[in-house]
Structure 1
Amino acid sequence: MYDRILVAVDGSEPADAAFEHALDIAADCGATVRALYVADTNRDSVTTVGTNVRDALEAEGEDVIEGARKQAASRGVAFEDEVLQGEPGDTILEAADERDVDLVAMGTRGRGGVRRFLLGSVAEHVVRRAEVPVLTVRADEEVRVEYPYDSVLVPTDGSGHASKALEQGVDLARRHDATLHVLSVVDVMAVGVDVRADIVLDELEDRARDAVEDAGAEAGEAGVDVVTDVITGSIPREIRSYAADNEIDLLSMGTHGRRGVDRVLLGSVTERVLRTAPAPVMTVRSPDEE
């Protein structure tokens, strides 16, 4: 499924968790893992100190890379590495493009202060712009990190972006013989208290049911075991709750969704889920819809 996996590392707990999960995937797929450490020397707090800090950052990067190399060797995973200077988000994206990788893995938080490299905002920057799927992993006691995957969750609104995530979810579920959960959340807060609220809510619920039925049928045709559900509430909160309650191993999500009345999965919703997801999240981007 994957041949080359780029993992952004910085020695932080979230980055370590992402690297370990990437090794699981690489060992299963026979993929090569490329560890990338970005020395962020572009911030004023670093560049004003001079070359000594730059050298120190690169030296720290070499230490982090060496630890990653040993982990990969212990798992028998092919390994490559790189230490680059630059702005983390753009540097990760450029490396992913230039190295022709087919998956990027990264933690959603990193160190603070001068040692900060992988912030949540950096992960979100990469998620919004990457041409390949991005796997994000949080390091938290509540996060379920299991491999192979037994259950995959795809939130859907029937949009092209959600359909792209469904394709990915179906492929992953089929590979792992996992159960695919297809969920649509109707955002009751978006309806408001207008006199037309009941009509709009009925319309939203009908579309949600159509979306999960279509997605379930597509997954069923692919030979995947499918569970579908439609619920109401706050979209990111309900997605998180469903994932936790059903012990989901992986969420497959699109980075954007439809606008207006059809809006269910916005990029901002995906990013909110990333910050608190109880399992790794695999995001996939498709061209913006008109």
Structure 2
Amino acid sequence: MFRTILVPTDGSAGARRAFAHAVALAERYRADVHTLAVDSADGGVDTTARLASTVEAADTTADVTQADRTGVAHEEILDYAEAVGADLLVLGTHGRTGVRRYLLGSVTEKVVRLSDVPVLTVRAGDDARVRFPYQNVLVPTDGSEQAAAAVDPATDIAATCEAHLHAVSVVDTRAMGTVTRPDVLLDQLKSQARSAVDAVAREASHGGVDSVRTAVQEGLPYRALLAYVDEFDIDLVVMGTHGRRGVDRYLLGSVTEKLVRTAPAPVLSVRAPDDAAQSTGTSATPE
């Protein structure tokens, strides 16, 4: 599935961890790796010098190409990804707590929102869980087109790594108190959720995944998914999402963004094909 992997790096500990993870993926998929250092046009931190040491420290059989550019980081990353035909971007990120986790601005967040190809974010920090090959892969779903975009990559990765695939749908119960018959609505939503995870299970089985676990849960989606990640020792979360342009890209709220920031395991964000072209639409659990 992955043939050309791009790893932007600034030489930080998080970037080095992302590079090591990308190399492990590249070796499994026999993919080429490109590393990119972007120096700011205003003469900020020189990242180019750090790039060579990151690559040299890696013990890998993958073909690694080094490049450097000057400019606005996320713009240069997306432009370079298109130029080399990258089909996966791997970036380091860090979790935030308190008020800071609700503030935008990081390069990784902008790339996740704007990239047309899947973006794998790898957390830094002592609480991060970064392991490969993956043993447990989670794909959240609500049956939407955005969620469906994640199923093929999740299936391919789980089959390639001989991992267990977990298909989970979370019924958001926050609106139950505003309807006349919350019990009837809850039953309907749970039935839809069950259909969604069963559909993922069928597709995964057809795609060569030997072990598939399905679950329907209730609660606040991102919190329920975080709890699931911890309970089942998930190594990778694969989620469908949609991109945003203009003012909307600065608005928070998506489940994917919250998991990118808080999940201990890496998160692979996958854009739906129509969204990659139009950047429109909404979804619940996966987005």
Unaligned runs of 5+ in 2: 96-103, 244-251, 282-287
Aligned in 2, Cα 1:138/1:233: closer, same or farther, shift over 3 Å?
same
- Equivalent of residue 101 in structure 1, options 61, 83, 86: 86
- Distance across 2 between alignment mates of 1:84 and 1:192: 53
2:101 is matched with none
Once the two structures are TM-superposed, the CA of residue 143 in structure 1 deviates from its matched residue by: 1.9
Paired amino acid for 1:156: T
- Distance across 2 between alignment mates of 1:105 and 1:120: 18
**C-alpha distance after superposition, 1:98-122 (max 9, x if no partner):** 1111110001249xxxxxxxx8732
Identity across matched positions, percent: 43
1:198 is matched with 183
Alpha-carbon RMSD = 2.1
- Distance across 1 between alignment mates of 2:177 and 2:11: 46
- Distance across 2 between alignment mates of 1:86 and 1:197: 53
1:240 is matched with 226
SS at match of 1:188: coil
1:5 and 1:26 in contact (8 A); partners too: yes
Paired amino acid for 1:281: V
Larger radius of gyration: 1
Matches within 5 A, 1:6-45: 6-41=6-41
1:68 is matched with 54
TM-score under structure 1 normalisation?
A: 0.83
1:35 and 1:68 in contact (8 A); partners too: no
- Distance across 1 between alignment mates of 2:20 and 2:47: 17
- Distance across 2 between alignment mates of 1:33 and 1:92: 14
Aligned in 2, Cα 1:240/1:221: closer, same or farther, shift over 3 Å?
same
- Distance across 2 between alignment mates of 1:154 and 1:120: 27
SS at match of 1:254: strand
1:176 is matched with 161
SS at match of 2:215: strand
Q: Which runs of 4+ in 1 moved over 3 A?
A: 190-194
Unaligned runs of 5+ in 1: 42-46, 48-53, 111-118, 258-265
**C-alpha distance after superposition, 1:59-111 (max 9, x if no partner):** x3222111122034x2232111122112111211111111111110001249x
- Structure with the largest fraction of helix: 1
Once the two structures are TM-superposed, the CA of residue 277 in structure 1 deviates from its matched residue by: 0.9
- Equivalent of residue 163 in structure 1, options 148, 167, 186: 148
- Equivalent of residue 230 in structure 1, options 192, 216, 235: 216
Matches within 5 A, 1:95-134: 95-109=80-94, 121-134=106-119
Once the two structures are TM-superposed, the CA of residue 27 in structure 1 deviates from its matched residue by: 2.0
- Distance across 1 between alignment mates of 2:105 and 2:139: 22
2:143 and 2:196 in contact (8 A); partners too: yes
- Distance across 1 between alignment mates of 2:231 and 2:88: 28
1:272 is matched with 258
Matches within 5 A, 1:78-89: 78-89=63-74
1:5 and 1:103 in contact (8 A); partners too: yes
Q: Between Structure 1 and Structure 2, how many residues are aligned?
A: 259
- Distance across 1 between alignment mates of 2:40 and 2:222: 31
2:239 is matched with 253
2:17 and 2:92 in contact (8 A); partners too: yes
- Distance across 2 between alignment mates of 1:87 and 1:108: 18
Paired amino acid for 2:37: Y
**C-alpha distance after superposition, 1:5-32 (max 9, x if no partner):** 1101012222121111001111222222
Aligned in 2, Cα 1:218/1:190: closer, same or farther, shift over 3 Å?
same
SS at match of 1:140: coil
SS at match of 1:153: strand
- Distance across 2 between alignment mates of 1:192 and 1:186: 14
